[in-house]
Chain A
Amino acid sequence: MVNKIRVPVREQDPKARTGNFQEVSYGYNAQEAVLEASRCIQCKNPKCVTGCPVTIQIPQFIKAILEGDMPGAASVIARDSSLPAVCGRVCPQESQCEGVCVMGIKNDPIAIGKLERYVADWARENNYTTAIPAVPNGRKVAIVGSGPAGLACATDLAKAGCDVTIFEALHKPGGVLVYGIPEFRLPKAKVVDYEIGQVRKLGVKIECNVVVGRTVTIDQLFDQEGFDAVFVGSGAGLPKFLGIPGENLNGVVSANEFLTRNNLMEAYVPESDTPIYVGKRVAVVGGGNVAMDAARTALRLGAEVEVVYRRTRKEMPARVEEVHHAEEEGVTFQMLTNPVAVLGNEKGWVTGLRCIRMELGEPDESGRRRPVEVPGSEFDIACDVTVIALGTSSNPLIARTTPGLEMNRHNGIVADERGITSRPGVFAGGDVVTGSATVILAMGAGRQAAKSILEYLEA
């Protein structure tokens, strides 16, 4: 008889964790992992694999866990993912592998993410590595950006024998894994640095402080540095703002700025030189994962936090787990609420957020019901910091400096689902093509592009 309920995962106590940046979820131990693995019914045609953007052979690695073959489990995952400890922690499994799990029809779906994390953590803790440099094929590929798309693309190319160099604009590799996702969700030194180290073990070189489009152009990479192909995975760019009065008051920051100060620059550590300002009350505008990360970070920095979102909980793009964790920790929510102005004092500092109530109307292009204002329902929320988490538009640097590269109207690079752009030899994937999305979708795009690059290099 199969257990209908998934093995719960142990977590840091909500009260305690709001006072620290340590990881919230402890993950499974060996017994819990085997017990959860035993719930998998090993489908002949596993839907979970097709639900995974990088097509990890999920039933295979779960079977290996059950058989106590941890090296086998790690090897199965490594065939398709170079960042399993990352993905096990941050993927929106409920809308991917776990969302299509057959068990989920009547019972809890298998906790695939937690099992993936368990395998990846085991491999790291036991120094089990599958990263061995391949036989060189004599091809040189440049990758722009060391975030999930670039790392996934680099991994597959290196495994095929390409000489791969990743160019990173910031001082630390990892992209959004380092500047965006907070430590309490994704430990940097333990998890991110280690998995990037595994990618380096395949022979991939990472050069930091190179802003492609400025320090070197894509044309120069081809003409002067001898690269045979370039993959652009430079990620999302400039933060979007609301376009309402008061948005440039002191105390209004983008989620990107707030999180970059805290995560990449480690402003929460006393030794860090980088300042961060949270005040006493923070209003976070937005309903995605980034909004949740900003809210929970502000909370840990000592503020009271309210999230303002214009639709309802059902439409929130954030992972269910993130919203749940935020709530547990004491973040409050104002749903069906939209800011109309940021209020400030005579010195130009934020004092509040003027909002208006919304109701849901007809569905819009995204299929979600369009929120419309309820006339006369304005009210004020007192706050001294407003964090705007509305997503990003594309970074214009590569667009402006790469002739012949077709752009869409949002300044994103036009690329098909195989990562092919309008410039021969130039491939692209991840947020720079799609706009803000998820780690795993960027990784999927990076892998697709790697495939296309290998085909291009052979032709």
Chain B
Amino acid sequence: MYKILKKRILAPDICLMEVSAPRVASSAQPGQFLIVRVGEKGERIPLTICDFDPVAGSVTIVTQRVGASSRKIFALEEGESFNDFAGPLGVPSEFIHEREEILKEKKFLFIAGGLGTAPVYPQVKYLHGKGAHVEVIIGAKTRDLVIMEEEMKQVAARVHICTDDGSYGFKGLVTARLKELLDGGARFDQAVAIGPMIMMKFVTLTARKYNLPLIVSLNTLMVDGTGMCGACRVTVGGKIRFACVDGPEFDAYQVDFDEAMRRQSMYKLQEKDADHKCKIGLGNGQ
């Protein structure tokens, strides 16, 4: 069992949890994810890693209450435990192989949508630690749903907040802010977008016009998450790739987003949590 050391509510339906998982904490890298299970008959739920502390043996995750399984996670309190907490899974972000001298000279832009802010954080933190220049666009439907702004400001040179309703920061979608930044002359060596599939698709379409190198992190369906079932298969560069062992990060320009989005909805009808409503302004059913 994996004990919850701390729980903090970040937004009405979003919470952060620090979980005791020494093995995962000591091997986690930016870009990776994990799989958790709550209850004896619980689903295997892939979650992104938000932070990790090898010394304390803890891993931080952020979840949003959207369906039956995420409600189970959200209902857990400090002192309670996850039945299972397996990871880290997936290939770490490519930049961890770059030498510090190289990273120091580079400018990165992260585009985070909603809950995608959580997995962006460890990447920004890592790059900041290596002396890279990092800016972050955080997009949310409304002010209440902007998460981790303060944490992000500690590690990013600039944080650009966008809200759909204009209740905070830039009024509009992340793609509009991205366009504004790039039109204003900002230049980046590498961009990374993490968020809902539809957001990543439109960020890709926008970034393409500027020849901005872009990585996306695909949150596909998964069952085992260890390279066994093939539920996470995506078409990248015309070939079948498996998000769990080949990804989750891929070159955005090679990804077939329409297929990936369609495949995500495969169990929508069967899901015992049919009440998923988009909380980041993408409308229902996305």
Contacts and interface: CB of A to CB of B under 8 A. Distances in A.
Contacts, number: 122
B24 A215 contact: yes
Contact of A256 (B37, B42, B228): B228
A179 B44 CA distance: 13
Contacts of A422: none
Contacts of B223: 257, 260-261, 265, 274
A215 B88 contact: yes
B272 interface: yes
Given A266-B41, A275-B271, 17 more contacts: A169-B226, A171-B37, A171-B86, A209-B23, A210-B23, A215-B27, A215-B88, A216-B23, A216-B27, A239-B228, A248-B240, A260-B223, A273-B69, A273-B272, A277-B267, A348-B259, A395-B227
Which one of A208, A239, A241 has the highest number of Cβ atoms from chain B below 10 Å of its Cβ? A239
B124 to A, nearest CB: 23
Interface string A233-252: 00011110100000110110
Nearest to B239: A243
Contacts of A51: none
B141 interface: no
A400 to B, nearest CB: 9
Contact of B228 (A248, A250, A260, A269): A260
B89 A214 contact: yes
Interface in B231-284: 231, 233, 235, 240, 242, 245, 259, 262-263, 265-267, 269-272
B220 to A, nearest CB: 11
Given A209-B84, A215-B23, A239 B41 contact: no
Interface string A178-222: 010000000000000000000000000000111100111000000
13 contacts: A170-B224, A179-B224, A208-B84, A214-B27, A236-B228, A239-B229, A241-B233, A257-B230, A273-B69, A277-B266, A277-B267, A277-B269, A396-B227
A435 B161 CA distance: 50
A155 interface: no
B68 interface: yes
A365 interface: no
A348 B271 CA distance: 18
Q: Give the size category of A's interface with B.
A: 35 or more
Contact of A277 (B259, B262, B270): B270
Contacts of A179: 224, 228
Contacts of B39: 273
B270 A238 contact: no
Contacts of A247: 240
Contacts of A395: 226-228, 245
A402 interface: no
A104 to B, nearest CB: 37
Given A238-B242, A248-B259, A215 B41 contact: no
Given A170-B226, A211-B87, A238-B228, A248 B43 contact: no
A397 B227 contact: yes
Contacts of B68: 273
Contact of A241 (B85, B88, B230, B265): B230
B270 A396 contact: no
B230 A274 contact: no
